[in-house]
Structure 1
Amino acid sequence: MTEVCSVSAAADGGRAGREAASRLARWLGLAATPTFAIMAALTAVLGDGPADMLCAAGHGSLLGGMVPMYLLMSAFHASAWLRLVSRWRREGSSKRLPPV
């Protein structure tokens, strides 16, 4: 059974594995933004904990604490969502317009 799988994987040059890894990376990129946003909301609601005290390096700073860190991480990972929305808009607008 292993020989058959290795032969078929070698026949396509590993394209199926690369495609699966690429698809997984896209899904992980999309999962990062809402995950960090939820973590920021939960941290803000549940209050200060010992981890927040450890991570509050800039005492008195707007960027001190876990909530701003999670919000920044969510913003930095938003590019996957922006690409997806851009693709949806591009595909949707071309479907609505009649061909010229």
Structure 2
Amino acid sequence: MNNGAERRPTSGVAGFLAFAATPLCIMMALMTGLAGSHHSAHDLSWLTGMAAMYVLMGVLHSAPWLDRLSRW
């Protein structure tokens, strides 16, 4: 029994969005981190702020990239 766990290739807009999520999140993390670079050296807010959230989102949305790399 499959229970809907079968991985089907995405195509069209859904496929594009699946592959666009990770680079977009990483780009937003870089922009957010660089925009907040005026903090003092002892201020570690970039580790707990929006930049860290964007990196986490990029990691969580990396499944299509990892799937493609595993088939390569």
**Shorter-chain TM-score above 0.5:** yes
Q: Which is helix-richer, 1 or 2?
A: 1
Q: Which has the larger radius of gyration?
A: 1
Kept in 1, the 8 Å contact 2:28–2:54? The answer is yes
Q: Which residue of 1 aligns with 2:40?
A: none
Q: Which of residues 28, 45, 63 in structure 1 aligns to 2:34?
A: 45
Structure 2 CA distance for aligned equivalents of residues 63 and 44 of structure 1: 9
Offset at residue 23 of structure 1 (A):
2.4
Cα offset, 1:85, TM superposition: 1.4
Query: Quick one: which amino acid aligns to residue 31 of structure 2?
Result: L
- How many residues were matched structurally? 57
1:22-71 per-residue CA deviation (whole Å, 9 max, x = no partner) reads: 422111010000000000000000117xxxxxxxxxxx888621011000
Q: Which has the higher contact order (CA 8 A, sep 6+)?
A: 2
Aligned position for 1:81: 65
Q: Please give the root-mean-square deviation of Cα atoms over the aligned residues, in Å.
A: 2.4
Deviation >4 Å, runs of 4+: 60-63
Unpaired stretches in structure 2, ≥5 consecutive residues: 1-9, 38-43
Q: Percent identity?
A: 42
Quote the residue 2:41 is aligned against: none
Question: CA separation in 2, counterparts of 1:33 and 1:69?
Answer: 12
* Contact 2:36–2:46 (8 Å) recurs in 1: no
